Amino acid sequence: MNGAGRGTLPPGDPHHFQLSRRYAFSGADVIVIVGTPFDFRMGYGKRLSPDATVVQIDLDYRTVGKNRDIDLGIVGDAGLVLKAVTEAASGRVNGGASKRKEWLDELRAAEQTALEKRLPNLRSDASPIHPYRLVSEINDFLTEDSIYIGDGGDIVTFSGQVVQPKSPGHWMDPGPLGTLGVGVPFVLAAKQARPTRRSWRSSAMARSPSPAGTSRLSSATTSPSSASSATTPP
């Protein structure tokens, strides 16, 4: 899932995959693209298997079928369209889950392989702290109400591979341009919209020398009791 969809499926859901999207795109026979343009993040559609049946759902008709041919385009509100599809399919398709089991097992194997590749950095004690370790530590603190905000740049790339929001709408990032500096206004907006929920902001990993001559990585967090507080992991 991209930033707009993170949290739609909570961690632990049997259909939740975070690290095997490219593998899935290359091997799936049917791909449904919801509310996502075929821009550079999607390789302008080239990352999708050329043999797959591609369905694209989007509110903007100008996005549907742009940069890549599709088999079916649906213009409309994604939530309403998916609700209608679910209602139409309910009780009419038998045995679908059992037929997909082998494919889901294959995706889980790809997911595990990708995770094991990152494990050394996720657990690294190196100084300065590795970005994977930093976002992994933050992810361990996230709750059902936590809103995670990536403040542009490389930190969003690292966060996207590790951080797992628990609910829809609990991930915010600057979008395709990766603009730096959006974190603080995003935190303020999140606290205004949902004052009782905790917001975590990860910065662009700017290094600054410490008095001892070593380097530190700066990040910032907010809690329900304060608009902003700074922390500096060792």
Q: What is the pTM of this model?
A: 0.76
Q: What is the CA radius of gyration of the chain?
A: 20
Under the banding of pLDDT at 50, 70 and 90, the label for residue 178 is confident
Write out pLDDT tens, residues 139-153. 999 988 899 999 888
Options 3.40.50.2020, 3.10.180.10, 3.30.450.20, 3.40.50.970; CATH of 123-231: 3.40.50.970
From residue 133, give the alpha-carbon distance in Å to each of 16, 18, 87, 119: 22, 17, 42, 9
Question: Looking at the predicted structure, is the pLDDT value of residue 70 above 60?
Answer: yes
DSSP E strands, the chain: 30-34, 53-58, 72-75, 147-150, 171-172, 199-202, 207-209, 215-217, 219-223, 226-231
Q: Calculate the average pLDDT of the chain.
A: 83
Task: Confirm whether 3-119 and 123-231 share one CATH topology.
Answer: yes
Q: Which residue has the tokens 């004690």?
A: 125
User: Contact 155/204 with Cβ under 8 angstroms?
Assistant: yes
Indicate the CATH number for domain 3-119: 3.40.50.1220
Question: Looking at the predicted structure, is the pLDDT value of residue 88 above 90?
Answer: no
Structural tokens at position 89: 């399919």
Cα atoms in the Cβ-side hemisphere of radius 13 Å centred on 29: 3
pLDDT at residue number 219: 40
pLDDT at residue number 234: 36
